[in-house]
């Protein structure tokens, strides 16, 4: 008896504690400074159905805004509560809200809409735009039409915005000028700081290629608790998200089977997948294909979603194995829009055990071809792996729209489908209940509350654009030898000094300065956001001024970046030894207070890419383009052969070729560099890294790296230079999207001249162009072995330059190219002696060896 009551008491105590924890965490997320729950147009706020407290909007409204507060005339029975839906703020002219937020944190922004008649304003008259933090969230937006298409009285639009560097989030509502009597309205605004949950995603059907998500804003399109039930904002793990049932989105009759975890099984979050990624309830339920292997072998478990065309989408799939414990028990393929996203997915293989959550991110571009406004997610057992069970599983699914390169997220208003209108007529006109399945109709047409439907605008390479803002066009670096404190930096002279190893230690001191953190802070105005010239996966690059006038680029590692201290030191060690006219030089570093900072020469003219097609127009004459390519080729040739251990750049692209004030090309960003094969190996096997559109197909097929991978990427750069267009442009017709494929095809068909930069037409020597194009094509050979070496590429480019300069005498040109090449080889030899002896002494350390990836399978 005694022990029984004891148990009972513990249980009560336990549930009591859980409640307290629950209440506390709720309270915290709401009072967090910078989190807002705003009931617009209401004079004293109130509490909603979930017990969340909302406050009035007037303190955040810009004093210059003219607005009307109003109450809806009718209350739809489906409204969960009066707050925030029954009151609205109405704007008849552009008006702005301003909220103080953290300048560093990503934000969830949720807009609550209840289209209804407010005073004398009819709901069908509202057409408006909403802009936040420079991103167009909505344009020519009709809440009335959207609600109709969703078959809901109210809805929520959710966005994830990049950090607002000014610390002031401005949200501007602008009534459309295209419709007379148009106005804007809003019922509720929710803002919360969120962790950085967007990192890197794999491109569907370009296996091994990734997109860096950090610099984008997103609109949530769908968020589903697969095989489970609706989870409201207070049931979410602290981020106020809503998770919907997935069944309305299932395709066909094959629904698979759903199941839940055992009661006593615990979901074990890890530091990689913390609880805020998705709540326990999402991982506790799943949908699988079913028990019959022969049935499973013959169908795909498929979900279908309506999305807006001309956008890139992030598809996030959440997995947690609840039944099996061993590798190769359940292995399946993942398809997104009929393209392969993953082959042989094995949840246990990824995480090691049952009950451990993991998510996978994929990105895909949805074009505007007829019938393409659907996004399909399908799972099928990987029969070729002969898993124990022919089955597949999914626990959760999110789909986000990624902003395009106009910072736009707005689509078109949805067109309610005929099927929906018919269904509506049946419900309202004909009182007999129809025998169709309403869930499927609604799901198929639009989707669950708020994460609505629409369609619009351009393509995706926006993050490149943002990065390219980089390096700026600021004034030039002072000529002569810059002096940094005690350090004397001379890129020119050092290449001819230092034949013996005795000088190395002294040279090393000169090569690379050690800066204090306060010096760096002074140089960058305390890491002022206004000095940011580039952003990447590693962190930010700032413009800095040291010694009262010398410009430098300061690369500050993001504390959360994966780069460890050892790698950082390895990079310094390697960079400080690499000196070449065509490589960006390391000036110094700072390692203090856990900061890892590298200081480089400032490149006054920015990236090669911005001079090719920044404003759709390149101003570079052909000869200058050739000289830039030759410079970059020399830099790469030096990396491949100028030092004892071949250094493979791994990320050759037009944004990693920088230009100094004299238009001298310098190869930059060795963050991904690895030393190449030693005598016994012929390749470095490593995780595939690099940039989309430039990656050697052989490299990602075989995950083997040779210097010929750089040659391939450089071939893509050469075509970029010739055609003045990006390596990838998904807004173009399919066959033109990928520059390397398109250029090869045109060359094969003999019409390459039609796709060259229009600015060059008539101003380019055809022989020079042919030599150049021919070289570029050879770089793009499918097999690394068939590609020329960087030295050959260099020779051919020199030749193309001679043909341009001296078009009438090909033979003479060839001789000159030979001479130029011979001279270049000579200068390399002297460098080789110096650098190889330096690298030798560090070759025993493990610095250059790539650690095996512990997560790799």
The C-alpha atoms of residue 527 and residue 665 are separated, in whole angstroms, by: 27
C-beta of 371 vs 762, nearer to ligand NAG? 371
Of 519, 856, 486, 501, residue with least CA distance to 703 = 856
| Beta carbons within 10 angstroms of residue 510's beta carbon | 16
Binding flag, residue 737, ligand NAG (CB under 6 A):
no
By CB under 6 A, residue 417 contacts ligand NAG: no
Assess whether 48 carries a catalytic annotation: no
Residues 278, 283, 285, 290: is their CA dihedral positive or negative?
Answer: positive
User: Tokens 């990824």 map to which residue?
Assistant: 350
| Cβ burial 123-144 (10 Å sphere, 16+ → b, else e) | bebbbbbbbbbebbbbbebbbb
Minimum Å gap between C-beta 693 and ligand NAG is 19
The binder of ligand NAG chosen from 213, 420, 456, 462 (CB under 6 A)? 456
Helical segments of 301-372, H only: 347-351
Question: Quick check: helix, strand or coil at residue 8?
Answer: helix
For 535, the 3-state DSSP assignment is strand
Using CB under 6 A as the binding rule, whether residue 371 contacts ligand NAG is answered as: yes
DSSP string for 714-733 = HHHHHHHHHH-S-SB-TTS-
**Least CB distance from residue 364 to ligand NAG, whole Å?**
9
**Other C-beta atoms within 10 Å of 697: how many?**
16
Expressed in angstroms, the distance from the first to the final Cα of the chain is: 53
Contact 269, 275 (CB under 8 A): yes
Query: What are the structure tokens assigned to 342, written together?
Result: 């993953």
In whole angstroms, give the CA distance from residue 493 to residue 486: 17
By CB under 6 A, name the one of 121, 135, 206, 602 that touches ligand NAG.
121
Between 118 and 568, name the residue whose CB sits nearer to ligand NAG: 118
Decide: is 180 part of the binding site for ligand NAG (CB under 6 A): no
Cβ closer to ligand NAG: 140 or 703? Answer: 140
Interface with ligand NAG (CB under 6 A), residue from 30, 368, 767, 774: 368
Asked if 323 and 189 count as a contact pair (C-beta separation under 8 A), the reply is no
The two structure tokens encoding residue 732: 């173009």
Between 125 and 774, CB nearer to ligand NAG: 125
CB of 248 to ligand NAG, least distance (A): 18
10 makes contact with ligand NAG (CB under 6 A): no
- Kindly report the three-state secondary structure assignment for every residue of 111-156: EEECCCCECCECHHHECEEEEECCEEEEEEECHHHHHHHHCCCCEE
If one asks whether residue 80 binds ligand NAG (CB under 6 A), the answer comes out as no
CB closer to ligand NAG out of 183 and 600: 183
Q: Nearer Cβ to ligand NAG, position 298 or 353?
A: 298
837 interacts with ligand NAG by CB under 6 A: no
Tokens of 579: 């000196």
| Count of beta carbons in the 10 Å neighbourhood of residue 6 | 10
When asked if residue 69 is in the footprint of ligand NAG (CB under 6 A), the reply is yes
Among 64, 74, 180, 615, binds ligand NAG (CB under 6 A): 64
740: left (phi over 0), alpha (psi -120 to 50) or beta: alpha
Angle between helices 438-445 and 418-428 (to 10 degrees): 140
Binding flag, residue 713, ligand NAG (CB under 6 A) = no
The answer to whether 75 contacts ligand NAG (rule: CB under 6 A) is no
* Binding piece for ligand NAG, criterion CB under 6 A, among 113-121, 402-410, 427-435, 487-495: 113-121
- Cβ–Cβ under 8 Å, residues 708 and 782: no
Q: In the bound complex, what is the minimum distance in angstroms from residue 366's beta carbon to ligand NAG? A: 8
Catalytic annotation, pick one of 651, 660, 729, 757? 651
User: In angstroms, what CA-CA distances link 202 with 206, 237, 363?
Assistant: 8, 26, 6
Total interface residues for ligand NAG by CB under 6 A: 37
By CB under 6 A, tell whether 177 contacts ligand NAG. Answer: no
Q: Is 557 exposed, middle or buried (0-12, 13-18, 19+ CB in 10 A)?
A: buried
Position among 146, 296, 413, 837 found at the interface with ligand NAG (CB under 6 A):
413
Should residue 774 be labelled a site residue for ligand NAG when binding is judged by CB under 6 A? no
Quote the least distance from Cβ 93 to ligand NAG, whole Å. Answer: 11
Q: Which tokens is 126 given?
A: 């509202």
Per rule CB under 6 A, is residue 410 in the interface with ligand NAG? no
DSSP state at residue 499: -
Q: What is residue 566's three-state secondary structure?
A: helix
Among residues 162, 337, 796, 837, the one that binds ligand NAG under rule CB under 6 A: 337
CB of 43 to ligand NAG, least distance (A): 4
Q: How far is the CB of 199 from ligand NAG (least distance, A)?
A: 26
Per the CB < 8 A criterion, the answer to whether 42 and 69 are in contact is: yes
Q: Which residues pair with 311 in a beta bridge?
A: 366
Residue 340 Cβ, how far from ligand NAG at the closest point, in Å? 7
Residues 259-298 that bind ligand NAG (CB under 6 A): 298
74 scored as a contact of ligand NAG (CB under 6 A): no
Q: Would you count residue 46 as binding ligand NAG (CB under 6 A)?
A: no
Among 60, 299, 515, 622, binds ligand NAG (CB under 6 A): 299
Minimum separation from the CB atom of position 309 to ligand NAG (A):
4
The nearest distance, CB 338 to ligand NAG, in angstroms, is 3
CB of 193 to ligand NAG, least distance (A): 22
Residue 151 within binding range of ligand NAG, rule CB under 6 A: no
Answer yes or no whether residue 376 interacts with ligand NAG by CB under 6 A.
Answer: yes
442 binds ligand NAG (CB under 6 A): no
Alpha helices in 366-445, H assignment, sequence order: 418-428, 438-445
- Assess contact for 271 and 212: CB atoms under 8 A: no
Whole-angstrom CA distances from 231 to 114, 228, 701 are: 21, 9, 41
How far apart are alpha carbons 118 and 451 in whole angstroms?
Answer: 24
CB of 154 to ligand NAG, least distance (A): 18
Q: 178 vs 844, which CB is nearer to ligand NAG?
A: 178
Selected from 10, 15, 19, 62, the binder of ligand NAG by CB under 6 A is 62
Which of 146, 152, 182, 310 lies at the binding interface for ligand NAG (CB under 6 A)?
A: 310
Is 102 one of the binding residues for ligand NAG (CB under 6 A)? Answer: no
- Nearest Cα residue to 365 out of 812, 737, 801: 737
Q: Judged by CB under 6 A, does residue 564 bind ligand NAG?
A: no
Which of 67, 607, 668, 731: binder of ligand NAG (CB under 6 A)? 731
Contact 469, 533 (CB under 8 A): yes
Q: Name the one range near ligand NAG by CB under 6 A: 332-340, 535-543, 667-675, 706-714.
A: 332-340
181 binds ligand NAG (CB under 6 A): yes
Cα separation of 531 and 290, whole Å?
56
Stretch in the footprint of ligand NAG (CB under 6 A) among 139-147, 399-407, 705-713, 773-781:
139-147
Q: Which among 333-341, 348-356, 419-427, 561-569 is the span making contact with ligand NAG, rule CB under 6 A?
A: 333-341
Chain-centre distance for alpha carbon 44 = 41
CB of 355 to ligand NAG, least distance (A): 29
Q: Which stretch binds ligand NAG (CB under 6 A): 67-75, 764-772, 779-787, 835-843?
A: 67-75
Residues 329/378, Cβ–Cβ less than 8 Å: no
Torsion, Cα of 483, 488, 491, 496 (10° steps): 150
Options 78, 120, 271, 615; binder of ligand NAG; rule CB under 6 A? 120
**Contact positions vs ligand NAG (CB under 6 A):** 43, 62-64, 69-71, 96, 119-121, 140, 142, 145, 170, 178, 181, 298-300, 309-310, 335, 337-338, 368, 371, 374, 376, 378, 380, 412-413, 455-457, 731
Residues noted as catalytic: 651
């Amino acid at each position: 008896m005694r022990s029984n009551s004891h148990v009972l008491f513990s249980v009560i105590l336990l549930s009591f504690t859980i409640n307290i924890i629950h209440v506390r965490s709720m309270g915290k997320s709401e009072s967090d400074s910078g989190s807002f729950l705003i009931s617009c147009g209401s004079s004293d706020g109130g509490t909603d159905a979930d017990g969340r407290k909302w406050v009035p909007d007037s303190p955040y409204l810009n004093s210059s805004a003219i607005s009307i507060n109003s109450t809806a005339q009718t209350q739809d029975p489906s409204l969960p509560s009066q707050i925030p839906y029954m009151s609205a703020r109405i704007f008849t002219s552009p008006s702005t809200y301003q909220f103080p937020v953290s300048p560093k944190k990503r934000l969830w922004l949720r807009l609550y809409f209840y289209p209804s008649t407010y005073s004398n304003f009819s709901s069908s008259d509202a057409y408006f735009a909403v802009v936040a933090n420079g991103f167009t969230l909505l344009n020519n937006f009709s809440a009335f039409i959207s609600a109709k298409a969703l078959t809901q009285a109210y809805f929520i639009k959710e966005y994830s915005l990049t950090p607002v560097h000014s610390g002031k989030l401005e949200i501007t509502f602008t009534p459309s000028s295209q419709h007379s009597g148009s106005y804007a309205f809003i019922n509720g605004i929710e803002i919360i700081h969120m962790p950085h949950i967007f990192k890197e995603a794999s491109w569907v059907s370009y296996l091994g290629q990734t997109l860096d998500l950090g610099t984008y804003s997103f609109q949530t399109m769908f968020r589903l608790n697969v095989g489970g039930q609706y989870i409201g904002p207070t049931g979410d793990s602290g981020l106020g998200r809503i998770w919907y049932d997935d069944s309305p989105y299932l395709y066909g009759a094959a629904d698979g089977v759903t199941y839940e975890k055992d009661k006593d099984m615990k979901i074990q979050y890890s530091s990689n997948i913390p609880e805020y990624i998705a709540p326990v309830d999402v991982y506790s339920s799943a949908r699988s294909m079913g028990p019959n292997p022969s049935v499973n072998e013959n169908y795909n478990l498929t979900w279908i979603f309506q999305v807006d065309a001309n956008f890139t989408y992030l598809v996030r799939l959440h997995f947690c194995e609840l039944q099996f414990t061993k590798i190769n028990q359940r292995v399946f393929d993942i398809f997104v829009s009929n393209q392969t996203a993953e082959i042989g997915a094995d949840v246990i293989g990824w995480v090691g055990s049952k009950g451990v959550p993991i998510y996978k991110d994929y990105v895909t571009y949805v074009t505007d071809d007829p019938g393409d406004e659907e996004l399909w997610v399908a799972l099928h057992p990987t029969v070729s792996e002969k898993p124990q069970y022919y089955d597949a599983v999914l626990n959760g699914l999110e789909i986000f729209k990624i902003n395009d390169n106009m910072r736009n997220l707005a689509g078109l208003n949805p067109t309610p489908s005929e099927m929906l209108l018919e269904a509506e007529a049946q419900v309202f006109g004909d009182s007999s209940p129809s025998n169709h399945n309403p869930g499927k109709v609604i799901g198929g047409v639009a989707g669950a509350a708020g994460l609505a439907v629409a369609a619009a605008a351009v393509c995706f390479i926006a993050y490149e654009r943002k990065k390219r803002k980089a390096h700026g066009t600021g004034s030039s670096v002072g000529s002569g030898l810059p002096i940094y404190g005690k350090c004397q930096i001379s890129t020119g002279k050092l290449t001819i000094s230092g034949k013996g190893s005795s000088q190395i230690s002294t040279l090393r001191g000169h090569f690379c300065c050690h800066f204090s953190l306060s010096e760096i802070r002074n140089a960058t105005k305390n890491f002022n956001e206004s000095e940011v010239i580039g952003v990447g996966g590693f962190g930010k690059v700032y413009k800095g001024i040291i010694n009262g006038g010398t410009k430098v680029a300061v690369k500050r590692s993001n504390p959360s970046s994966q780069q460890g201290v050892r790698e950082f030191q390895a990079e310094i060690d390697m960079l400080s030894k690499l000196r070449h006219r065509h490589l960006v030089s390391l000036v110094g570093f700072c390692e203090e207070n856990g900061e890892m900072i590298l200081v480089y020469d400032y490149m006054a003219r920015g990236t090669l890419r911005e001079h090719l097609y920044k404003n759709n127009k390149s101003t570079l004459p052909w000869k200058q383009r050739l000289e830039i390519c030759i410079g970059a080729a020399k830099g790469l040739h030096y990396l491949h052969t100028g030092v004892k251990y071949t250094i493979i750049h791994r990320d050759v692209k037009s944004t990693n070729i920088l230009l100094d004030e004299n238009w001298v090309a310098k190869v930059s960003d060795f963050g991904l560099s690895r030393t190449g094969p030693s005598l016994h190996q012929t390749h470095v096997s490593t995780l595939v890294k690099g940039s989309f559109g430039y990656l050697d197909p052989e490299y990602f097929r075989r995950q083997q790296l040779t210097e010929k991978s750089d040659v391939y990427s450089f071939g893509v750069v050469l075509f970029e230079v010739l055609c003045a267009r990006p390596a990838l442009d998904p807004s173009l017709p399919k066959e033109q999207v990928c520059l390397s494929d398109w250029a090869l095809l045109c060359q094969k068909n003999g019409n390459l001249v039609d796709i060259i930069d229009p600015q060059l037409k008539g101003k380019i020597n055809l022989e020079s162009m042919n030599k150049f194009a021919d070289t570029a094509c050879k770089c793009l050979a499918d097999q690394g072995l068939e590609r020329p070496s960087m030295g050959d590429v260099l020779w051919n480019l020199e030749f193309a330059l001679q043909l341009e300069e001296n078009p009438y005498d090909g033979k003479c040109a060839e001789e000159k190219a030979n001479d130029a090449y011979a001279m270049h080889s000579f200068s390399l030899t002297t460098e080789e002696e110096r650098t190889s002896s330096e690298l030798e002494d560090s070759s025993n350390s493990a610095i250059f060896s790539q650690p095996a990836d512990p997560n790799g399978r």
